[in-house]
A = this chain, B = another copy of it.
Amino acid sequence: MHTVLVVDDETDILELVVFNLERQQFKVLTADNGITAVQVAKEKIPDLIVLDLMLPGMDGFSVYRELRADPRTNGIPVLMLTAKGEVNDRIAGLELGADDYVTKPFSPRELLLRVRALLKRTRKVTVDASLKSGDFLLERNTLKLFLAGRPVDLTATEFKLLRLLVEANGEVQERDALLREVWGYSDTMLTRTLDTHVKRLREKLGKHAECIQTVRGVGYRFVGSPTPA
């Protein structure tokens, strides 16, 4: 049994449905109005989100970005419904990183099939869509860090930062680069911000704090295994 959040305008409501994988049936679970789709997603953490890009008030893409911005909803696969099957839409969807999309008009059966496929698929993906380095296991989809098997809660910012460092694979990441990639390079951001977050990360890393090395005058570097002196 899976939970699927449908963000649609045709029904004019947000539907949180339960999807029975075996019987291929949707069932409306809740139908609330007045709260945003993103809020629902963050609370319910569905297994899949069906997002109609042609929403009445808001832009579907911005909803998508909002979903991706939060650690809790970031890993959830999104099936996009696009009005036209034009390449532009397809590309736009891919750019954003949608996991699949269906172009209108479509038959319910097709949608069911895609949903089923996605649900099947994503469970598998989450398993190996993680980043491993030594004792570190960084789950990209869950935004969780497993340190020697133990889960460590990271905030969104911390995760972004650590992810960049880990992915750099030993390379030094310059302060500027980190500031740009994590904070979008706002000049308002004075110096100490990065340092502070690095410090908080190190705290959470416990005895593995040293894995984040500081390269004076340049930036930081992540080393998976303790440096052999």
**Footprint of B on A, CB under 8 Å?**
23-28, 77, 85, 87, 91, 94-95, 97-99, 103, 105-110, 112-113, 117, 120-122, 124-125, 128-129, 140-143, 150-151, 155-156, 167, 169-172, 215-218, 221, 227-228
A99→B91 contact, CB < 8 A:
no
Asked if residues B97 and A109 are in contact (CB atoms below 8 Å), the reply is yes
With known contacts A113-B140, A143-B218, A150-B228, A107–B95 Cβ distance under 8 A: no
Q: Are A151 and B87 in contact (CB under 8 A)?
A: no
Contact of A216 among B25, B106, B156 (CB under 8 A): B156
> Cβ of A140: which chain B residues have Cβ within 8 Å of it?
110, 113
In the bound complex, residues from chain B placing their C-beta under 8 Å from that of A142 are 170-172, 221
Q: Decide: A28 and B87 in contact? CB cutoff 8 A.
A: yes
Give the top 10 A-B pairs by smallest Cβ distance, nearest first.
A105-B121, A97-B109, A156-B217, A99-B107, A141-B171, A25-B95, A143-B172, A110-B129, A107-B125, A94-B108
Q: Is the CB of A128 within 8 A of B103?
A: yes
Q: Is the CB of A151 within 8 A of B95?
A: no
User: In the complex the two chains form, what is the Cα distance from A171 to B142 in whole Å?
Assistant: 5
Q: How far is the CA of A103 from the CA of B127 in the complex (A)?
A: 12
Q: A109's closest neighbor in chain B, by CB? A: B97
Question: How far apart are A92's CB and chain B's nearest CB, in angstroms?
Answer: 9
A107-B125, A155-B217 given; 17 more Cβ-contact pairs under 8 Å: A23-B95, A24-B95, A25-B91, A26-B95, A77-B107, A105-B120, A105-B125, A107-B122, A107-B129, A110-B129, A110-B140, A113-B129, A113-B140, A117-B167, A142-B171, A143-B218, A151-B228
